[in-house]
Amino acid sequence: MVSKKLNTGINNVRNVSRYIFGQGAIQELGDILSMHRGPMDSQVIFLVDNYFATNSHAIGSLPVEHSDQLIYVSTEDEPTTEFIDQLIQEITSNGRSKACAIVGIGGGITLDTAKAISNLLTNGGRASDYQGWDLVKVPGVYKVGIPTLSGTGAEATRTCVMTNQENGIKLGMNSDYTVFDQLILDPDLTKTVPRDQYFYSGMDAWIHCIEALSGSYRNPVGDSYSIQSIALCREVFNSENMMSDDNRAKLMVASYLGGCAIATSYVGVVHPFSAGLSVVLDIHHCVANCIAMMAMESYYPQHYHEFLGFIEKSKVRIPNSICSGLTNAQFVALYQATIVHEKPLINALGPEFKNTLTEIHVRELFERM
């Protein structure tokens, strides 16, 4: 049943406890960890995007000690609950001391993985036990997030998105305990990101915020974060070099503020369609958003044209024709995986959103992608 009302109040918000921002900030990691290493629990678990397994120069040498584990996380697929469970198995099966800290270094996938591992190590059970709202019972292991890609806002949010392949549910552990204890925001770390990836993920921040500001459920806190995040994204993506030192710093801040914005508001029409593409066609979140945005002229006319301007400036290509030749069953699955996201759709279109987003209309929109 479609709920008629959304909660628009500001709940008792938990933000990231601490953050360092600035070029070279990653060098502070060793000192931060040494404050948390104890005699009985000295182990730090580093979860690092596997891109850095062969490009370690891009993050410099990590303060990994003898008692620690360094695990490279594959970012080929977005996290599944099964993957998280396997990782827990791997981390705990070698009889080492208790972990005193988890460090996630990477994009949204790696940061979300670090959050989930931290919660599971102290709460026990399986990842799928905690998919939902406020199901995590006790604080996770102290966790440090170090983003190497800007836009998803994963560094700021109280969730970690995972897909449960048994029931097809893509849902995170929404909990105050999922929030990072410490962030290191070092714009030097996004220097080597491929241009198209940089654009797609940067657009995630912009899309979060334009959706929030276009919705009917608003509040002054969410609006303020969104307005400033959009302003920074505009400076970055209207400039001649979106990846200059200054622009990478600005986008890192825009990503953080965008994450804070969605924590107190709702997204709109783009994210549900993007989720459909991710669930049915395995397309990663940020590029899926950009693909969906290309069919959103009727819902966000002004932003659609602004988006085309960003594309022209950056000369990045958005994949197209991805829904041509799909089967009827795939279109039905796309419709269902889109329409299930009631909260953002109510925010954007009102409680009767299904009158607008009919199965035929949804299919037409997908056919344009």
CA distance 182 to 142: 8
Establish if 211 lies at the interface with Zn ion (CB under 5 A): no
Q: Report, in Å, the least distance between residue 123 CB and Zn ion.
A: 26
Task: Number of residues interacting with Zn ion: please give it, by CB under 5 A.
Answer: 1
Stretch that binds Zn ion, among 133-141, 197-205, 319-327, 331-339 (CB under 5 A): 197-205
Q: Report, in Å, the least distance between residue 204 CB and Zn ion.
A: 4
Establish if 204 lies at the interface with Zn ion (CB under 5 A): yes
Q: Give 25 or 173: the residue with its C-beta nearer to Zn ion.
A: 173
Strand partners, 52: none
Q: Report, in Å, the least distance between residue 65 CB and Zn ion.
A: 35
Please report, as a single letter, which amino acid is at residue 329. A
CA distance 280 to 179: 29
The interface mask with Zn ion, positions 156-195, x = CB under 5 A, is: ----------------------------------------
Q: Give 52 or 225: the residue with its C-beta nearer to Zn ion.
A: 225
Q: Give 63 or 215: the residue with its C-beta nearer to Zn ion.
A: 215
Q: Give 187 or 202: the residue with its C-beta nearer to Zn ion.
A: 202
Q: Using alpha carbons only, give the angle 203, 207, 211 rounded to the nearest 5 degrees.
A: 175
Q: Report, in Å, the least distance between residue 297 CB and Zn ion.
A: 20
Establish if 68 lies at the interface with Zn ion (CB under 5 A): no
Q: Report, in Å, the least distance between residue 126 CB and Zn ion.
A: 25
Q: Give 43 or 159: the residue with its C-beta nearer to Zn ion.
A: 159
Q: Report, in Å, the least distance between residue 274 CB and Zn ion.
A: 7
Stretch that binds Zn ion, among 183-191, 202-210, 238-246, 299-307 (CB under 5 A): 202-210
Q: Report, in Å, the least distance between residue 143 CB and Zn ion.
A: 21
Joined together, the tokens standing for residue 354 give 């299904």
Stretch that binds Zn ion, among 35-43, 68-76, 116-124, 204-212 (CB under 5 A): 204-212
| Residues near Zn ion (CB under 5 A) | 204
